[in-house]
Amino acid sequence: MTLPAEDEAPSPALTATQAALAAEHAAVYGYGVLGARVPEKRRTEASAAYDGHRARRDALQR
C-alpha cells in the first residue's frame, strides 16, 4: 500500500470509509454504555443492533 503525497487529498472513497468506520465505532461504544440500562423487553433488539454494528465495524477494519 502506498501513502498519498503530503499535498494530495485522500480519495472520496477513503474519506467515506473512514467516516463509516468512525460511526460504527461510536455505535458499538454507545451500545456498550447503554447495554446495562436497556429494559428487559428491548434487550433482544438492542443486542441484535449491537451485533450488527460490531460486524460492520469489523468488516470495515479489514
Q: Kindly report the pTM of this predicted structure.
A: 0.79
Residue 54 is assigned to a structural domain of this protein: yes
Q: Write the CB contacts of 21 (distance below 8 Å, at least 6 apart in sequence).
A: 57, 60, 61
pLDDT digits (tens, 9 = 90+) for 1-16: 666 677 788 899 999 9
DSSP states of 14-29 as a string? Answer: HHHHHHHHHHHHHHHH
Instruction: Supply the pLDDT for residue 40.
Output: 95
Instruction: Supply the pLDDT for residue 45.
Output: 97
Residue for cell digits 428491548?
A: 42
Q: How many domains does the chain have?
A: 1
Instruction: Supply the pLDDT for residue 7.
Output: 74
Residue 51 is assigned to a structural domain of this protein: yes
Residue 4 is assigned to a structural domain of this protein: no
Residue 15 is assigned to a structural domain of this protein: no
pLDDT digits (tens, 9 = 90+) for 22-55: 999 999 999 999 998 999 999 999 999 999 999 9
Residue 36 is assigned to a structural domain of this protein: yes
Residue 19 is assigned to a structural domain of this protein: no
